[in-house]
Amino acid sequence: MIIVMQLNATDAQINGVVSEIRKAGLKEHISRGSELVIIGAIGDENKLEPAHLEILPGVERATRVTKQYKIVARDSHPAGSIVKVRGIPIGGNQIQIIAGPCSVETQEQMNLSADAVAAAGCRMMRGGAFKPRTSPYAFQGLGVEGLEYFQQAAKRHNLPIVTELMDVRMLDTFMEYDVDVIQIGARNMQNFDLLKEVGRVNKPVILKRGLSATIAEWLMAAEYIAAGGNHNIIFCERGIRTFETTYRNVLDVTAIPVLKRETHLPVIVDPSHSGGKAWMVPALSQAAIAAGADGLLVEMHPNPCDAWCDADQALTPEELKKLTVTLGAIAGAIGRSI
């Protein structure tokens, strides 16, 4: 840990910091400049809290040197990890397109959706049985009935399913219905009790970025899951909230290469929730793949005009099929495949 003292800090203040460092079982290294003094704390810096040091007299700031996230850091697995969903790899050379409707509505709708997902060449299917909505009066999902519709439809094409878990009390139900990939939504990225519980199960987890979460906060949220023993984690960038109101969220393309540098785990992108409009989805998808994303989470509805949720951002089956062809060309240009 690096502790920078304030301009012209006194010897007594410097000694006070040194005392705290030694009290924690670490050693100090003092570097004196013409005006500033910088103190290095050598040892297990987890025994020291920067916030505690920063309230000491004469301290300007304290900064950790090592990362707080240990398991998900790329240092622990430099080659990168591949998360497999029923044998389908997420990460590595092959890029996965996970498509399907925002919400499960009817059995017929899900059957048509599964047919379209398979016809487009996608290997996994998404759909929401439980829906987090801004308004308490909006459609909240069909719940367990939706899981039944989803599984029946997906089995027609042997498609693994991805669906969102909102409440820790429903985890046993998700296990009972053999959900292949548990999605933790943006609003629950820092629901630490929920993260701890999914960390105890042997299921891949898609962790979406919070609406205003920093990269470090996102990585630490993943560390909660990994610390429980579940290392099958997939990061999903879905756009962040800024001052801009022209589109739904701002797709942070920069987050893709940054995460690929910081973590060994796969990174996918949700272009549907980023732009909020179907016409934006192809361009955002192309940008994501070109930037190195390992997959996409795309909303598609057999008839978007009739969708019960997020109709504006859903692709038609024909648009999904066309998009996968375009993405295949981009993937080939960077040495990957769809």
| 158 compared with 137, residue with greater pLDDT | 158
Helix residue ranges per DSSP H, the chain: 11-23, 50-54, 107-119, 144-155, 171-176, 192-198, 215-227, 255-262, 271-275, 281-290, 317-333
Model confidence over 183-202: pLDDT tens digits? 999 999 999 999 999 999 99
Model confidence over 226-272: pLDDT tens digits? 999 999 999 999 999 999 888 889 999 999 999 999 999 999 999 99
Number of residues that make up the chain: 338
CB 157 within 8 A of CB 118: yes
> Identity (one letter) of the amino acid at 183?
Q
Q: Map out the domains of the chain as residue ranges.
A: 2-63, 74-333
> Identity (one letter) of the amino acid at 101?
P
Q: Which residue has the tokens 């701890």?
A: 196
- Give the pLDDT score at 138: 67
For the structural domain made of 2-63, what CATH number should be given?
Answer: 3.30.70.1140
Nearest CA-CA partner of 206 in 87, 294, 122: 294
Q: What gap in Å lies between CA 179 and CA 146, rounded to an integer? A: 12
Name the band, by pLDDT with cuts 50, 70 and 90, for residue 135.
confident
Q: Does domain 74-333 have CATH number 3.20.20.70?
A: yes
pTM value? 0.84
- Give the pLDDT score at 338: 93
Mean pLDDT of 304-319: 90
Model confidence over 98-125: pLDDT tens digits? 999 999 999 999 999 999 999 999 999 9
| 3 state DSSP class of 103 | strand
How many helices and strands (H and E) does the chain possess? 11, 14
Q: What gap in Å lies between CA 83 and CA 93, rounded to an integer? A: 12
Nearest CA-CA partner of 238 in 164, 136, 336, 334: 164
